[in-house]
């Protein structure tokens, strides 16, 4: 007695070996999958670039607005001084109740531990930054550093470079 299987098998199941064009069909299918996956990756990458660019633009715009609010509307002031082969030039930028400083110092011996000190109109001193002069470098090239002090620009009187042991290397009147 011959029985039929309870399900139908496709004719390919009874073939000996691969069907004609089987490898080509597999390659086409794999190529299609790769193409769709690459397109999806490009979409994700484009979206990530768009989001990060938008965030960067928002951060820059916010920084400009905040910078304008803190600036107090005054222009930066430039001061300078020279003593014993050490020179100091500083740009003092007003902020709301405090001062930003960008200072270039030249002529400090390598390895010297230094502080940037500002003095207000009452003689109170504020450390606005510190550094160690570069070793093996050229003291004439100097260093540029940024600092800040809780002194309103209209009350700031001097900017000085001192060693940590209190020796004043150079002072500039503000």
Give the per-residue pLDDT at 57. Answer: 67
Residue 166 to residues 39, 92, 103, 117, 118: CA-CA distances in angstroms? Answer: 65, 23, 19, 10, 13
> What is the sign, positive or negative, of the torsion defined by CA atoms of 96, 128, 80, 142?
negative
Q: Going residue by residue through the chain, which has 174 residues, state the pLDDT in tens, using 9 for 90 and above.
A: 556 655 676 666 666 666 666 677 777 777 888 888 888 877 778 777 776 777 766 666 655 444 444 444 468 888 888 888 899 999 999 999 999 999 999 999 889 999 999 999 999 999 999 999 886 666 777 889 999 999 999 999 999 999 999 999 999 998
Token digits of residue 172 = 């500039």
Inter-residue contact 114 to 133 (CB < 8 Å): yes
Residue 16, beta-bridge partner list: none
What is the SS3 assignment for 112?
Answer: coil
Give the per-residue pLDDT at 69. Answer: 43
Q: What is the pLDDT of residues 8-21, one digit of tens each?
A: 766 666 666 666 66
Give the per-residue pLDDT at 60. Answer: 64
In terms of DSSP H, where are the helices of 72-122? none
Counting residues of the chain whose pLDDT is more than 90, the rounded percentage is: 41
Over its C-alpha atoms, the chain yields an Rg (Å, rounded) of 35
Token digits of residue 37 = 């996956």
pTM: 0.56
Give the per-residue pLDDT at 59. Answer: 66
Give the per-residue pLDDT at 48. Answer: 73
Give the per-residue pLDDT at 132. Answer: 92
Q: What CATH number is given for 77-173 in this structure?
A: 2.60.40
Look at residues 67, 148, 142, 144 and name the one whose alpha carbon lies nearest to residue 101.
148
Centre a 10 Å sphere on the Cβ of residue 161 and count the other Cβ atoms it contains.
28
Burial (CB count <10 Å: 0-12, 13-18, 19+), residue 147: buried
* DSSP 8-class letter at 141: T
Q: Measure the CA–CA gap between 23 and 174, rounded to whole angstroms.
A: 83
Domain boundaries, the chain: 13-71, 77-173
Give the per-residue pLDDT at 45. Answer: 80
Going by their DSSP bridges, the two strands 77-83 and 86-95 should be labelled as antiparallel
Q: What is the pLDDT of residues 57-76, one digit of tens each?
A: 666 665 544 444 444 446 88
Q: Measure the CA–CA gap between 161 and 51, rounded to whole angstroms.
A: 45
């Amino acid at each position: 007695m011959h029985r039929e299987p309870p399900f139908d098998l496709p004719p390919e199941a009874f073939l000996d070996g691969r069907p004609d064009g089987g490898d080509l069909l597999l390659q086409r299918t794999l190529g299609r999958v790769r193409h769709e996956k690459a397109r999806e990756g490009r979409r994700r990458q484009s979206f990530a670039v768009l989001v990060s660019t938008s965030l960067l633009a928002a951060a820059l715009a916010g920084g400009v607005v905040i910078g304008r609010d803190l600036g107090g509307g005054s222009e930066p002031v430039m001061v300078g001084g020279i003593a014993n082969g050490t020179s100091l030039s500083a740009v003092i930028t007003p902020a709301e109740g405090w001062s930003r400083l960008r200072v270039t110092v030249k002529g400090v011996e390598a390895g010297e531990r230094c502080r940037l000190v500002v003095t207000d109109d009452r003689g109170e001193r504020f450390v606005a930054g510190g550094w160690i002069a570069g070793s093996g470098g050229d003291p004439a090239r100097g260093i540029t550093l940024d600092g800040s002090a809780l002194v309103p620009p209209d009350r700031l009187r001097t900017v000085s470079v001192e060693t940590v042991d209190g020796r004043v290397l150079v002072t500039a009147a503000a």
